[in-house]
Amino acid sequence: MEPALPLAGLNILVVDDDDDSRFYITTVLEADGATIMAVASAGVALKVLPELQPDVLICDIAMPDEDGYTLIRKIRALKPDIYEKLPAIALTAYGDREYRNRALEAGFQTHVAKPVDPGELVAIVAELVASYTS
């Protein structure tokens, strides 16, 4: 019997303006059982959010037009209040404490520096979801 995939049954919304990053994250998380919708902008993310109702949001910070900080603030302000508790991961090339604090203050639960190891990304998503369902 094969072991269960750690992300089986999870719907994850990935928001990143970089094609290669979206492909990488999607490939890694799908290999561990997640269903992914990957979009290139905050505007598209806000449009698909009500229909998708993701279990987790993974969002790049540095995007043109609207950055990840603005997106998470908008999501946290949406009605119904289910979006207040949506587990959200900030994914950014900026890994220092200042950027981490900004991400947490904006409404993300955790901050991950790019490039992220595939196993580490899966573990972070699984741990974040476990902490919200227990």
All structural domains of the chain with their residue ranges: 11-133
CATH code that applies to domain 11-133: 3.40.50.2300
pTM of the model: 0.94
pLDDT at 108 exceeding the cut of 60: yes
Q: Coil, strand, or helix at residue 15?
A: strand
Percentage of the chain lying above the pLDDT 70 cut: 96
Q: Could you read off the pLDDT of 13-56 as tens digits, one per residue?
A: 999 999 999 999 999 999 999 999 999 999 999 999 999 999 99
What pLDDT is stored for residue 2 in this prediction?
53
What pLDDT is stored for residue 82 in this prediction?
76
